[in-house]
Amino acid sequence: MQRLEFEVARVSNADFYADLAHISTEDLRQRKDEAEGVEEMVSYARRLIQGRLDTLGFDPNQLGVGQGAPDSAAVSRLSSAITSGTAAPAG
């Protein structure tokens, strides 16, 4: 996940897009390819996380979002599912 975060930050930075009018076509294509590669990594990570949540039957409402303090057990299960692909069963 650290690499993904690094790459997203890199291509999201304004410096990545600075002086596009003054770089060669080859450099422009390279930056485009890099940005598309990061987009693919983000999409893949999103699909993995969504698949894990679907597999676990996780209900986002269990977090208690907008209902005061979140359910710490649900947050812990979600965190575990995202980081390791496994989670403790809902109690």
**Per-residue pLDDT, 27:** 93
- Supply 1's token pair: 């996940």
Task: Report long-range pairs for 22-30 (Cβ below 8 Å, ≥24 apart).
Answer: none
| pLDDT more than 90, % of the chain | 40
pLDDT digits (tens, 9 = 90+) for 39-69: 999 999 999 888 877 777 766 666 665 566 6
91: confidence class by pLDDT, cuts 50, 70, 90: very low
> Is residue 88 within 8 Å of 80, Cβ to Cβ?
yes
Q: Are 80 and 86 in contact (CB under 8 A)?
A: yes
Distances (CA, A) of 60 to 24, 36, 57, 63, 86: 47, 30, 10, 6, 17
Residue 76 has pLDDT above 80, yes or no: no
